[in-house]
């Protein structure tokens, strides 16, 4: 691994994203390493896996969000990553691979279409999504709802409806994971979160007509 470029990418991400954003990115990087290590060689062709590009892309995949927000962030982050790596005189193939990984890391595709996405892009997608299948993500979703509708009163019926929507999103997200190790890693968190949501929804449904 080209440690100098990887470290430069990490430093750049920390500068751009700040402490909190970089903490999340560091978790994604760790997830990438873990998923790549646990991939079944019989299931995936690992001979062409570019770990340098994967880790660099993991550090840089959100770098555009502080300035431009999350909508279509893969496009601007890929552009910024290419510009940054060119300034470092990184190898052309590394720059090309990092760009492809960032551009594809937001795409969820059916199993029979996965070859259209580089393996590194699939790993980054999974690494980026695993943390969103925990109970903490439920709290984050509720905070986002409150921020979006600050003046809306919330009763038990509305809260139950919100939680059902969150549960549907969680199921879709879990089913969209590309790799077997990601499914295995997320399974316990996903199961615990669903059990929690089902319990709260049932309690709210018993408390008020829905």
Q: Which domains does the chain have, with CATH numbers?
A: 1-130 (1.10.3210.10), 134-210 (no CATH)
| C-beta separation of 91 from 50 below 8 A | no
C-alpha span between 89 and 93 (Å, rounded):
11
| C-beta separation of 105 from 127 below 8 A | no
Report pLDDT digits (tens) over 102-133: 999 988 777 777 778 899 999 999 999 887 77
Is residue 114 packed enough to be buried (19+ CB in 10 Å), middle (13-18) or exposed (0-12)?
Answer: middle
What confidence category does residue 165 fall into, taking pLDDT thresholds of 50, 70 and 90? confident
State pTM to two decimals. 0.81
Task: Please state, in angstroms and as integers, the Cα–Cα distance from residue 103 to each residue in 6, 57, 60, 121, following that order.
Answer: 19, 10, 11, 8
Closest CA to 91 of 6, 32, 12: 6
Residue range 135-162: average pLDDT?
74
Closest CA to 56 of 24, 87, 90, 23: 90
C-alpha span between 60 and 19 (Å, rounded):
15
């Amino acid at each position: 691994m080209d440690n100098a470029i990887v470290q430069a990418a990490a430093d750049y991400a920390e500068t751009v994203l700040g402490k909190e954003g970089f903490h999340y990115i560091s978790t994604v990087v760790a997830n990438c390493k873990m998923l790549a290590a646990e991939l079944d060689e019989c299931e995936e062709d690992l001979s062409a896996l570019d770990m340098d590009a994967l880790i660099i892309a993991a550090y840089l995949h959100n770098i555009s969000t502080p300035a431009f927000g999350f909508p279509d962030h893969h496009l601007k982050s890929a552009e910024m990553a290419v510009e940054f790596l060119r300034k470092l005189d990184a190898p052309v193939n590394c720059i090309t691979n990092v760009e492809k990984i960032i551009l594809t890391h937001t795409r969820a595709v059916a199993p029979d279409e996965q070859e259209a996405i580089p393996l590194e892009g699939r790993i980054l997608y999974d690494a980026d999504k695993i943390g969103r299948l925990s109970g903490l993500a439920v709290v984050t979703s509720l905070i986002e709802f409150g921020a979006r509708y600050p003046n809306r009163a919330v009763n038990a019926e509305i809260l139950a409806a919100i939680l059902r929507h969150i549960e549907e999103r969680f199921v879709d997200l879990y089913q969209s994971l590309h790799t077997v190790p990601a499914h295995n890693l997320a399974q316990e968190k996903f199961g615990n979160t669903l059990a929690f949501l089902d319990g709260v929804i049932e309690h709210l449904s018993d408390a008020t007509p829905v």
